[in-house]
Structure 1
């Protein structure tokens, strides 16, 4: 589907908090990592559904700055899963014209994973189809703090006049500076909170909280939510004409 043929009213950018992997596994008597593996497989289906839904940008919340609080075994398993996912999916993503970007603080991630992330971004930099952004070691407050630090450094160095700092300035320093703000944010698993995800960017996003656990979240449900979005009236603080 070309951009000209996208469904009327489709969200250009959808962000997803992929929640419920652990509970999905535990309900089946399996370890939590089994659920994360199932959730990783689900990502491909949703990425592939984006063109037909008219979605140009998909951002997924893979690992938060708070997730380091989980058990050492689960964190180690997740980091291994990220390395496996990137290695396994890189060629398919490139061949399907998917451009991949990562957001978040990479410093705490191991060097092998950082290298794989860099390689995947470079491999898909020419792609012009779906834009997939993976939030890895990401937190909204951490992102704003890092952006503010860089802004302050530019002010201190004389590269930025404090008088010129306004609402449009900070976004240029955010991890998402190359992305449009999300139109729709989806959270699976029945939880109704945003968990420190895209705090600045989602100020006027529409939200959908669904009960489905992420490994059970299908392309059909994704399509239904994007279609429902098209019937919403977004006023950005104004009143209907």
Structure 2
């Protein structure tokens, strides 16, 4: 979800205002996801590298996260949205972790759409954790070295209980993966837009999905 800072700068506003407008865009897209029939939607909210940002900005982001969970939990429950969080979110402040755990529990049985939020997430770190988990299974005898294959590693990823990644959308003109879902992106279709995230609407999402639907996916087979 790139472009919050640039959105604010273009309007001569503080960066936090871009993040706040970005949260409104999240709400609109999550509401649209179910209407468009999306089984799962993953949003890259805070990377493991984002800790390098100024402390005030990180504090603003964490405050917005708390307000988003508190304000939108009932809407998630009413609209059948299951909340999932990927990444090392347990390393966040205890009050945020408690809010997240409560929201995950209260939405666990929803089936319309899964909203996965990547918090304190990095794709390389996820792969390292999955590899360590697979190595531990080999060490304790629950997995034989002969069966240590791609499926065994994928079972240790944060997204193990989610469907395969079909489409990755990158906003604000950026054209790189930025350490996001590196394993899962192996055969994902990529869609780029110059639109800054705060201006990204359900119409843009529908456009991306229509473009995806028109593509021929070969998965390396021909």
Instruction: Decide: shared fold, TM above 0.5.
Output: yes
Offset of 1:52 from its aligned partner? 3.1
Match of 1:186 in 2: 169
Match of 2:98 in 1: 115
Structure 2 Cα separation of the partners of residues 89 and 182 of structure 1: 25
Match of 1:56 in 2: 39
Aligned length: 222
Matched, 1:202 2:216: no
Offset of 1:106 from its aligned partner? 2.1
| Deviation sequence 1:81-108 (CA, Å, 0-9, x none) | 1111101111111111101100001242
The 5-angstrom pairing of residues 37-186 of structure 1 reads: 37-186=20-169
Structure 1 unpaired stretches of 5+: 1-17
Offset of 1:25 from its aligned partner? 0.7
Moved more, 156-165 or 21-30: 156-165
Q: 1:107 to 1:127 in 2, by over 3 A?
A: closer
Structure 1 Cα separation of the partners of residues 104 and 35 of structure 2: 24
Structure 1 Cα separation of the partners of residues 69 and 59 of structure 2: 16
Structure 2 Cα separation of the partners of residues 134 and 211 of structure 1: 23
Runs of 4+, deviation exceeding 4 Å: none
| Deviation sequence 1:99-129 (CA, Å, 0-9, x none) | 1100001242111111111000001011111
TM-score (norm 2): 0.98
TM-score (norm 1): 0.90
| Deviation sequence 1:202-237 (CA, Å, 0-9, x none) | 100000110000000011111111011110000011
Q: Partner of 2:169: helix, strand, or coil?
A: strand
Offset of 1:32 from its aligned partner? 0.8
Offset of 1:54 from its aligned partner? 2.4
